[in-house]
Homo-oligomer: A and B are copies of this chain.
């Protein structure tokens, strides 16, 4: 071992000890005949002192050490005259008796400090240097802790971790697969799994009873926003259970994680139906850190001659408490915000409940103060509140108002990263209509069980069929979702039919699963959490990139190793493929 101690463990209790430390030069400074060097490793920072009076040559050598040199020193732990009580090692320093340079370092292209001067591109290219910075490394340490806690909890609940295959079969359902040409089976391809869905269901058929896996999954999607081609799921499945059991077990998981990793005691995870989430928040993943629930106004505002309201399918608004003093400019900003093409609304109506108690709207022409009192009652406004109202087609206006609600939450400081509001959203629709393909798609996936009482609707009103499906949402972000599965061949075949599969297609792609259902499949269900996202929420980050050691950029490239890349012609020939660019 090149050290007796790490750079994070020596304290006043170690005074007088002869120690060996190794690490990176964080910084150095000269003071009279002394040179002070901070040496850093994963565990902390320790100050080294070199005194010209003791050893002029070694002190001179110490002065030559650059940032990020890797050094090994022997010396004595002594008390510091000027203590730094902000760090655990701040009361001591090492009077160095020997210095060895284990490796020199070129000047890094950006500062290895908590606040760096490196831009995104540079830090991605030198990711191994960016990972040296405490905030970045700490995210990965947090991720490690979370993974261990997840395993401990699930192991304690009798879940068995089973590795499912990475080289599987391509299916056209769902997102685009990454594929892998098979050299031994020319002309044929493996696919990388988008999830271990069918395998975990087969494990339930096998009687594994409770399965989990922290597992890499893959989707070849265009990488807008915060997506990665490879991502990690906490994948779980249970047999002989009902929805209630899953919600309880995984509410327990989330509470345990918050408790053991963040020290946060969650009271409970409330539940909300999909229908209520859409009605009250205009979203199936509402941010419930703050209220500002939607209030529907059709009964209140219609028939007063204001055509925008009269012609709208839905008039709906929110009460932004304490925002009555918003200036004209601020209100114009909000209008501009909802008119952006991403949101696409046409206008915003407001009503101020002024601090003097008066009510003032942007549509006074159509609504008297008496009418506005009804608005005030509907929103339970108090003096100082600002009501914001939108109108239009139900689905569209809800989505638009959801964006406005989130924006107001941000502006009013209601979305604190250190507040955590988890929520179960339940009773999702089984199917959703796809305008592009003019057919229904599975909202969750084709293996999700409809609610038994809704099965009859499959033929008459498929869009109304509810599923035994649920999502867990934290602070407006979906962190996991799952469902009770179909375990009956006939019902599974019916689902495939409704999803537009021919019998032959269903058999070719999922025959093994439907066959398995005929050999004694138990009732089962499960859930998968997006582990990257979960870690990023725990770390207080907006992006998942910084909880991934070596992420890819928006073109799916790893700029550090320069991948993907061309491969040799011999490789292509062996695989019996050719590129066509």
A487 proximal to B (CB < 8 A):
yes
Tell me the dominant secondary structure on chain A's binding face.
Answer: loop
CA–CA, A179 and B179, complex, Å: 9
User: B1, B128, B165: which contacts A241 (Cβ < 8 A)?
Assistant: B1
User: Beyond A160-B140, A182-B556, is A167–B131 a contact (Cβ under 8 Å)?
Assistant: no
Residues of B within 8 A of A218 (CB): 166-167
User: Beyond A1-B240, A181-B179, A579-B187, is A169–B128 a contact (Cβ under 8 Å)?
Assistant: no
Is there contact, CB below 8 Å, between A180 and B178?
Answer: yes
**Shortest beta-carbon distance, A131 to chain B, in Å?**
4
A199 proximal to B (CB < 8 A):
yes
Residues of B within 8 A of A563 (CB): 167-169, 190-191
Residues of B within 8 A of A223 (CB): 184
CA–CA, A230 and B182, complex, Å: 13
A382 proximal to B (CB < 8 A):
no
A416 proximal to B (CB < 8 A):
no
Is there contact, CB below 8 Å, between B519 and A129?
Answer: yes
CA–CA, A142 and B13, complex, Å: 44
User: B182, B188, B206: which contacts A132 (Cβ < 8 A)?
Assistant: B206
Is there contact, CB below 8 Å, between B161 and A148?
Answer: yes
Is there contact, CB below 8 Å, between A512 and B208?
Answer: no
A565 proximal to B (CB < 8 A):
yes
**Shortest beta-carbon distance, A88 to chain B, in Å?**
16
A85 proximal to B (CB < 8 A):
no
User: B208, B520, B548, B550: which contacts A131 (Cβ < 8 A)?
Assistant: B208
CA–CA, A184 and B178, complex, Å: 11
Residues of B within 8 A of A216 (CB): 163, 166, 216
A99 proximal to B (CB < 8 A):
no
Residue of B whose beta carbon sits closest to that of A558: B165
**Shortest beta-carbon distance, A67 to chain B, in Å?**
8
Residues of B within 8 A of A191 (CB): 563, 567
Is there contact, CB below 8 Å, between A549 and B203?
Answer: yes
Is there contact, CB below 8 Å, between B190 and A520?
Answer: no
Contact digits for A85-112, partner B, Cβ 8 Å, 1 yes 0 no: 0000000000000000011111010000
**Shortest beta-carbon distance, A527 to chain B, in Å?**
16
Interface size class of A (residues with CB under 8 A): 35 or more
Residue of B whose beta carbon sits closest to that of A579: B187
Residue of B whose beta carbon sits closest to that of A183: B220
Is there contact, CB below 8 Å, between A103 and B169?
Answer: no
Residue of B whose beta carbon sits closest to that of A43: B209
**Shortest beta-carbon distance, A161 to chain B, in Å?**
5
Is there contact, CB below 8 Å, between B565 and A169?
Answer: yes
A564 proximal to B (CB < 8 A):
yes
Residues of B within 8 A of A172 (CB): 568
User: B128, B183, B207, B576: which contacts A176 (Cβ < 8 A)?
Assistant: B183
Contact digits for A154-168, partner B, Cβ 8 Å, 1 yes 0 no: 010000111111111
Is there contact, CB below 8 Å, between B556 and A184?
Answer: yes
Residue of B whose beta carbon sits closest to that of A222: B184
A3 proximal to B (CB < 8 A):
yes
Is there contact, CB below 8 Å, between A564 and B41?
Answer: no
**Shortest beta-carbon distance, A501 to chain B, in Å?**
15
Residues of B within 8 A of A163 (CB): 216, 232, 548-549
Is there contact, CB below 8 Å, between A108 and B519?
Answer: yes
A377 proximal to B (CB < 8 A):
no
User: Beyond A180-B178, A241-B2, A552-B167, is A581–B187 a contact (Cβ under 8 Å)?
Assistant: yes
Residues of B within 8 A of A240 (CB): 1-3, 22, 41, 72
A555 proximal to B (CB < 8 A):
yes
Residue from the set A143, A186, A240 with the largest chain B CB neighbour count within 10 Å: A240
CA–CA, A231 and B343, complex, Å: 47
User: Beyond A172-B568, A571-B170, is A131–B183 a contact (Cβ under 8 Å)?
Assistant: no
Residues of B within 8 A of A178 (CB): 167, 180, 190
Q: Which of A221-245 contact B (CB under 8 A)?
A: 222-223, 229-230, 232, 240-242, 245
Is there contact, CB below 8 Å, between B576 and A184?
Answer: no
A488 proximal to B (CB < 8 A):
yes
**Shortest beta-carbon distance, A66 to chain B, in Å?**
9
A425 proximal to B (CB < 8 A):
no
Is there contact, CB below 8 Å, between A565 and B207?
Answer: no
A329 proximal to B (CB < 8 A):
no
Residues of B within 8 A of A127 (CB): 202
CA–CA, A362 and B179, complex, Å: 61
A185 proximal to B (CB < 8 A):
yes
A205 proximal to B (CB < 8 A):
yes
A446 proximal to B (CB < 8 A):
no
User: B160, B168, B187: which contacts A144 (Cβ < 8 A)?
Assistant: B160
A34 proximal to B (CB < 8 A):
no
User: B24, B187, B208: which contacts A566 (Cβ < 8 A)?
Assistant: B187
- What are the nearest 8 A-B pairs in CB distance? A105-B520, A169-B563, A131-B206, A188-B564, A68-B520, A182-B564, A2-B240, A128-B202
26 A–B contacts from the bound complex (CB under 8 Å): A22-B522, A41-B207, A72-B240, A103-B521, A105-B519, A108-B519, A127-B202, A131-B206, A132-B206, A165-B230, A166-B166, A166-B230, A167-B178, A167-B552, A167-B558, A169-B561, A169-B564, A172-B568, A177-B571, A179-B575, A182-B556, A185-B557, A186-B579, A188-B566, A577-B577, A577-B580
